[in-house]
Amino acid sequence: MANQNQDLQLDDQGRLRHFLTIDGLGRDLLTEILDTAESFASLPGRPVKKVPLLRGKIITNLFFENSTRTRTTFELAAKLLSADVINFNVSVSATSKGETLLDTLRNLEAMHTDMFVVRHAQSGAAHFIAGQAAPGVSVVNAGDGQHAHPTQAMLDMFTIRKHKGDFTPLRVAIVGDVLHSRVARSQILALNTLGVTEVRVIGPRTLLPGEARAMGVHVYHNLEDGVRDVDVVIMLRLQNERMKGALLPSQHEYFQLYGLTDERLENARPDAIVMHPGPINRGVEMDSAVADGPRSVILQQVSYGIAIRMAVMSMAMQVRTAAASKEEAPA
């Protein structure tokens, strides 16, 4: 599967074509994404925030699932790269009238879209679109079902690197609803690819995947034990909309066992940081004192998301632009 993902995402020179999953991508490419994002991270504070890298390009946000934070940061990232942006409103589109996903894709390609940013409730939707897209079109996965959310994972890696520097000595704990979390799956792949010492997942048995250990993680069911001596604590949202059946007695009981408080955080290293992909359910996944406390870097994650998405889009589109220029060059 990793080789298939690599073949679809990379060109014959190993450069990014699409960004669909962390699976199959090596440490060098992930580091290149982080380094490229570093060059964009200071743009929002400059008097002139835009760069002309994608001037004349059209990027379509194709969101079949609601998202404010992710769609907005992708839109802002594209505009800072000087691209034109189309936000495709699925609720009033032809797909709600029976048009197939492939027909929608072909119609948007006919409008000269250069890149699709895709968010979909079905796992594999972004891969399907990338496999069907015209040669000059790139696809970025903004979250598909329970499968992957690679740009969220990379903005989390960027946040960790900004605060911790080297990945290799780090112990990272991911807490909560790992079973339904596409973010957690992408984070685990990225952390292991970047060479951290240990990845831990913490949660009740009903919210951890049965194959968790095969994912290269250590499993804990006790929060205090799981966060002991870790450098990074990543809390996950309870994804009630994806749960089938009664996996939890109540949110109150969940907080009593797995909610992050200042007291429980004392088990982590003194300089440990706290992260959350958002949106936070305060009093369920963590206490407000932690979310707003000195160890929280949650708002920085949002800011860094713009730089990461600029990096991914510019890397994929520059490859496409170079390929198109080569094809159009006179013999």
CB 231 within 8 A of CB 269: yes
**What value, to the nearest 5°, has the Cα angle with vertex 311 and ends 310 and 315?**
115
Q: Which CATH architecture has domain 2-149+303-328?
A: 3-Layer(aba) Sandwich (3.40)
Q: Tell me how far CA of residue 171 lies from CA of 3, 176, 209, 282, in angstroms.
A: 28, 17, 20, 25
- Rounded CA separation 72/84 (Å): 14
Question: Which residue in this structure is represented by tokens 């079905």?
Answer: 122
Entry field: residues in the chain: 331
- Over 60: is that where the pLDDT of 128 sits? yes
pTM of the model: 0.90
Mean pLDDT computed over every residue of the chain: 89
User: Which residues of the chain are in CATH 3.40.50.1370 domains?
Assistant: 2-149+303-328, 150-297
Dihedral angle, C-alpha 115, 120, 123, 125, nearest 10 °: -40
- Tally Cβ neighbours within 10 Å of residue 36: 17
3-class state of residue 127 by DSSP: helix
- Comparing C-alpha atoms, which of 306, 314, 317, 2 is closest to residue 154? 306
Q: What is the pLDDT of residue 260?
A: 97
Q: Tell me how far CA of residue 140 lies from CA of 71, 116, 188, 286, in angstroms.
A: 12, 6, 19, 31
Q: What is the pLDDT of residue 37?
A: 96
Structure tokens at 185: 């799956």
Fold of 150-297: Rossmann fold (3.40.50)
Question: Which residue in this structure is represented by tokens 């991508």?
Answer: 25
- Over 60: is that where the pLDDT of 87 sits? yes
The predicted model gives 38-43 an average pLDDT of 90
Q: What is the pLDDT of residue 136?
A: 84
**What value, to the nearest 5°, has the Cα angle with vertex 8 and ends 7 and 11?**
65
pLDDT in tens, 184-239: 999 999 999 999 999 999 999 999 998 888 999 999 999 999 999 999 999 999 87
